[in-house]
Amino acid sequence: MNTDSHLDAIDTRIIRVLQTHARATFDEVGEQVGLSASTVLRRIKRLEEAGVITRYAAIINAEAVGLGLTAYLNVRLEKHTTSHKRSPMDAFRASVLTWPEVVECSSLTGEMDYLLRVVVRDMAHYSRFVMDTLLRHPSVQDCKTSFVLDRVKHTTALPL
């Protein structure tokens, strides 16, 4: 989790390959960057240990697995601590981590406190999530939904 992991040009090129082809063999990566498989192996291991590469993910077509609806949800929390134990913020964060529908959650500058990306099967499921789970949460004051009509671009690759 280092902030300055002093990557050289070859590390950057290796990362670029793995961002789109995470199952490439060390030989294949080596061919792309002009290095032997064993050297590539050592560099990738170093990047993993330094926390630069955090994990490898298969990217799944949501519609193909029956998850046809995604929404962005702006959430505003209560401003006051009702209990002496912990803040609404901490309670909300802990809950978000347990809700599988929420695939992404960030705290933001601006009027709304959090932006969630929520992926569900259909509108019935979405409605249940908002009514029965989100709005019932004691930390949540209100929320605003925007449904995704079309995904124009969706990459997991950072601009390197």
Partner DNA sequence: ACTGAAAAACAAGGGTT
Partner DNA sequence: AACCCTTGTTTTTCAGT
5 belongs to the binding site for DNA (CB under 7 A): no
Q: 38 to 57, contacts with DNA by CB under 7 A?
A: 38-39, 41-43
Contact 61, 135 (CB under 8 A): no
Residue 140 binds which entry of a second copy, DNA, none, CB below 5-8 Å type-dependent: none
Taking the C-alpha atoms of residue 46 and residue 5, their distance in angstroms, rounded to an integer, is 10
14 belongs to the binding site for DNA (CB under 7 A): no
For Cα atoms 153, 155, 156, give the angle at the middle one, nearest 5 degrees: 155
Q: Which stretch binds DNA (CB under 7 A): 33-41, 56-64, 72-80, 96-104?
A: 33-41
> 51: phi > 0 → left, psi -120 to 50 → alpha, else beta; which?
left
Q: How far is the CB of 39 from a second copy (least distance, A)?
A: 18
Pairing status of strand 114-120 against strand 69-77: antiparallel
Binding site for DNA (CB under 7 A): 10, 25-28, 30, 34-39, 41-43
